[in-house]
Amino acid sequence: MVGLIVAVAAVIALWPRGGGEDTATGPHTPSGTQQVPAQVRADAALGPCPRSAPGETGVGPLAGITLTCLADGAPVDLAAALAGKPALLNLWAYWCGPCAEELPYLRQYAERASDAVTVLTVHSDPDETKALLRLTGLNVHLPGVLDAETAVRSAVGAPAVLPISVLVRPDGSLAQVVVRTFTGVDDIADTVATALGVRA
């Protein structure tokens, strides 16, 4: 009888458990297990991701990070793609309420800044389909990448909260990591002007 109890206890201890939600970073989906329906990607109608110039490798803390472009599923060498122009990277996730409030402001800022600043959303969660559906619902068509392993957040030393905005200089160095929700398009413009010297 004791042996049976020990055996049952061992099975319970080793039995795989289903994960819930991590309160710091939100729900998780196993990486590499999903296929995005073509119609979902088409409906999102996202802008094309920035592409690196031939021979460009990129430097700084984002060097070596390759992510997936949400618009077409192609790989993006992040540091190389951003090289030569100031950039605003916005880290968000489909389940983040404040992110949903902030993303339309980023769309408006990108329209104001035009080609002066690269504005790129970084979905910091593995669920690409839900990211695309969320952007479609918000009518936000900014270029974006999928960062399933939160590599950008780790590279810049940001805390495990969202949203976060990362301001990157043309030489690839970090100008500022903004750990708060922007309150409007003027807030974004003022923050970028102060950190990167670009007024829009």
pLDDT tens per residue across span 139-167:
999 999 999 999 999 999 999 999 999 99
What DSSP letter does each residue of 31-92 carry, written as one string?
TT-----HHHHHHH-PPPPP-PPTT----STTTT-EEEETTT--EEEHHHHHTTS-EEEEEE
Average pLDDT over residues 189-200: 96
51-60, 104-113, 118-127, 170-179: segment of lowest average pLDDT: 51-60
Checking if the pLDDT of 114 tops 80, the result is yes
Can you give the pLDDT at residue 34?
66
Can you give the pLDDT at residue 86?
97
Average pLDDT over residues 48-64: 91
Predicted confidence band of residue 90 (pLDDT cuts 50, 70, 90): very high
**Mean pLDDT, the chain, integer:** 86
Can you give the pLDDT at residue 27?
46
Higher pLDDT, 28 or 199: 199
Higher pLDDT, 114 or 21: 114
Task: Report the candidate in 147, 152, 145 with the shortest Cα–Cα distance to residue 62.
Answer: 152
Average pLDDT over residues 33-56: 89
List CB contacts of 136: < 8 A, sequence separation 6 or more.
40, 43, 44, 45
